[in-house]
Amino acid sequence: MAAIMFSACSSGGKKSTTSENPFYTEYDTPFGVPPFNLITNDHFIPAVEKGIKEQTAEIEAIISSEAAPDFENTIAALDYSGELIRKVTGVFNNYNSSNISSEIQTIAKEIAPKLSAHSDNINLNPNLFERVKTVYNSRASMNLNGEQMKLLEDTYRDFVRGGADLDSASQVRFREINQELSLLTLKFGENVLAENNAFKLVIDNEADLEGLTQGLIDQGAETAKAAGMEGKWVYTLHNPSIMPFLQYSAKRELREKIYNAYINRGNNNDEFDNKDNILKITALRLERANLLGYDTHAAFILDKNMAKNTANVNDLLQQLWTPALKRANTEVKELQAIINNEGGNFKLQPWDWSYYAEKLRKEMYNLDDEQLKPYFSLENVKQGVFTVCNNLYGLTFTERKDIPVYHPEATAYEVKEANGDHVGVLFMDFHPRESKRGGAWMNSYRKQYVNKDGENIRPVITTVCNFSKPTANQPSLLTFDETSTFFHEFGHALHGLLSNSTYYSLSGTSVSRDFVELPSQIMENWAAEPEVLKLYAKHYETGEVIPQELIDKLQKSAYFNQGFATVEYLAASFLDMGYHNLSNFNIDNVSSFEDQTLKAAGLIPEITSRYRSTYFNHIFSGGYSSGYYSYIWAAILDADAFEAFKENGLFDPETATAFRKNILERGGTEDPMVLYRKFRGADPDIKPLLKRRGLLEG
């Protein structure tokens, strides 16, 4: 599938024997990272099957214990179980997002239902649940510490949410639903990836490059050459290609063509169409929620989130929607005025927005991305992130060539404390390829926890992005939005790396969905601070620090286009809630439902929802169903939390330590609002967010 694939994803025609399977033994690698050079595709299924057998035996040992159920022999023992499955899925799940091949996708289809059935076998085991319930009912007399109590309460809740209290007939149907969903969500993501890779805008007339920057022209030429079309220019649906094309191309018909291809991914009535998958996923989620006693899937999901219920989510969205829409309508008038002044005899359309917004930004602030990008080379931004983390937490990052990597484009770093103690291993993987899904994310190959022998197992974390590749003429240069994305994902990485929990289930990013974005989004703030920009924003050719003049322009333009950005995001949040807040499944046409939902919200025709249904991976193939609102919920937290750093100093040691100790290290060991109050001393205030986005009136 991909032009370049690492040997770790190819079995090379050799079948492994049980003794050769690297998952079965302790890894003989630096810091126990997976031996990617030894892992082949034919290792995954046998290792998953063996892991299932091992954990099944561990569960049986818990159940058959003659000792009365207590925290250690039931709750902690359950948390310790399944080590082999964790090892295998830690590698496989990352491969299935950043090292994909047709063989990996085939294996995923076999593994997913096996793991779903295994999970159900645990959750629906009546004898195991009886022990869990016994411990839970005796919790008040057990003298548990806070983390132990949280693990006990979460374990009991997860069993109930996993169907343990259902009657036998309902449990049968519950299993069937989970099996179907495990495959449907896989298929949805596969279709989006296939659509991303299928489309190419081929330009063979140099005149059609009008408006494009030289860097974008070079990028198009190199993409064409790699596709066997030397002498032409090719642009794709991967963000580093399509987004700047929409921003700079003067050819309106080409902008329309690539834009329509982008927003119709999974909606082309072909083999990769996702409309039927959406109908099935949404209906099955509702049926499962109903089985568990919830009116809607959203109610089921939100019950364990900070938001708690749909009323709180909708209230938040509406608080932002009204001022954002007002601002967006003003922006429409501003962009239409440029079109009219240039003699354009047409009404602003979604594929025009980025092009004319870029013109307006240059007109208002004498600023565009081409002025900024030379100061944001990927290498300089990376060093800037390292510097911020060092100033805040004393962390150091050392590239290690002796640590195996899962793909030649990935790099490995050892992370250490200021005193030299090992923190963890961090992989970074920056550029698009056909074997990688779009977007940016953090994940773990191994989470931090303390094992049953008392050893603090240190994490192995990965951050994956899709930034523009270097060309023959220049290194990878990032837009400021991409720079913010880098900082964002690094915030997630810190959440995983600095985890200091006892139990695996509570460590790192194992927190509610609307809290997990706080560590990532707060990191974005440092990227834009003048004091920090001067530390890392340096011209890639001259080494010149970014001029104060450009910093001033960047600061003055902070509110620019925020109506558009907020509205397109909120529209996707309304769409997510629209699908998952149904108490009766009555969708027969995905396109019509989407149109009706967005029309009811009041979305204007000049703006498209950030994600349309058929490529909305977050909610139909990821973990954000009924949770896409989480980014804006966490934005309230991060805007308010960053005020503490603004008040006390961007690198104030006391504030940084408080954030690390109360947020980054604690994982899911305590209620997130309690953790937040411990850091901030009060509940979060929405005003800093409204102010940041230029939406605060008066």
For residue 308, count CB atoms less than 10 angstroms from its CB and return exposed for 0-12, middle for 13-18, buried for 19 or more: middle
The residue among 161, 180, 213 that closes a domain is: 161
Check whether residue 404 and residue 483 sit in a common domain: yes
**What is the 3-state composition of the chain as percent helix, strand, coil, each rounded to the nearest 5?**
60, 5, 35
Helices (H), 65-145: 77-80, 83-98, 102-123, 126-137
For position 343, which CATH number holds?
1.10.1370.10
For residue 191, being part of any structural domain is answered with no
Check whether residue 450 and residue 582 sit in a common domain: no
Q: How far apart are CA 290 and CA 492, in angstroms?
A: 33
Check whether residue 27 and residue 143 sit in a common domain: yes
For residue 428, being part of any structural domain is answered with yes
Check whether residue 49 and residue 71 sit in a common domain: yes
Residues 6+ apart with CB under 8 A from 318: none
For position 452, which CATH number holds?
1.10.1370.40
Burial 586-599 (b: 16+ CB within 10 A, else e): ebeebeebbeebbe
Distance of CA 254 to the CA centre of its chain: 30
Residue-wise pLDDT tens digits, 663-679: 999 999 999 999 999 99
- Catalytic site residue from 331, 409, 489, 524: 489
Check whether residue 466 and residue 356 sit in a common domain: no
For residue 186, being part of any structural domain is answered with no
Any bridge partners for residue 396, and if so which?
416
Task: Look at the block and give the residue holding tokens 């595709």.
Answer: 41
Average pLDDT over every residue of 403-429:
98
User: 420, 398, 422: which is closest to 411 by C-alpha?
Assistant: 398
For residue 429, being part of any structural domain is answered with yes
DSSP state of 666: T
User: 15, 65, 58, 64: which is closest to 40 by C-alpha?
Assistant: 15
Check whether residue 363 and residue 401 sit in a common domain: no
Confidence band, pLDDT 50/70/90 cuts, at residue 19: low
Residue-wise pLDDT tens digits, 530-553: 999 999 999 999 999 999 999 999
508 CB neighbour count, 10 Å cutoff: 28
Residue-wise pLDDT tens digits, 132-160: 999 999 999 999 999 999 999 999 999 99
Helix (H/G/I), strand (E/B), else coil: 155: helix
Residue-wise pLDDT tens digits, 216-251: 999 999 999 999 999 999 999 999 999 999 999 999
For residue 172, being part of any structural domain is answered with no
Residue-wise pLDDT tens digits, 616-650: 999 999 999 999 999 999 999 999 999 999 999 99
As for how many domains the chain has, the answer is 4
Give the pTM.
0.93
Residue-wise pLDDT tens digits, 50-59: 999 999 999 9
Tokens, residue 38: 């030894």
Percent of the chain exceeding pLDDT 90 equals 94
Check whether residue 651 and residue 682 sit in a common domain: yes
Say if strands 201-203 and 233-235 run parallel, antiparallel, or are unpaired.
antiparallel
The residue among 611, 628, 645 that closes a domain is: 628
User: Nearest-5° angle of CA 145, CA 151, CA 155?
Assistant: 145
Check whether residue 115 and residue 205 sit in a common domain: no
For residue 173, being part of any structural domain is answered with no
In single-letter form, the type of residue at position 298 comes to A
Check whether residue 404 and residue 428 sit in a common domain: yes
pLDDT at 6: 27
Q: How far apart are CA 644 and CA 656, in angstroms?
A: 10
User: 94, 698, 287, 215: which is closest to 477 by C-alpha?
Assistant: 215
Check whether residue 259 and residue 304 sit in a common domain: no
The residue among 599, 628, 657 that closes a domain is: 628
For residue 514, being part of any structural domain is answered with yes
Q: Check whether 1 has a pLDDT greater than 80.
A: no
Q: Check whether 290 has a pLDDT greater than 80.
A: yes
User: Nearest-5° angle of CA 479, CA 481, CA 482?
Assistant: 65
Q: How far apart are CA 421 and CA 438, in angstroms?
A: 35
Tokens, residue 320: 């932002």
> Are 317 and 632 within 8 A, CB to CB?
yes
- Domain containing residue 312: 275-367+562-628
**Residues comprising the chain, all counted:** 698
For residue 166, being part of any structural domain is answered with no
Helix axes 562-580, 630-648, angle to 10 degrees: 140
147 an active-site residue?
no
Check whether residue 219 and residue 358 sit in a common domain: no
Tokens, residue 22: 């690297």
Check whether residue 357 and residue 258 sit in a common domain: no
Q: How far apart are CA 24 and CA 22, in angstroms?
A: 5
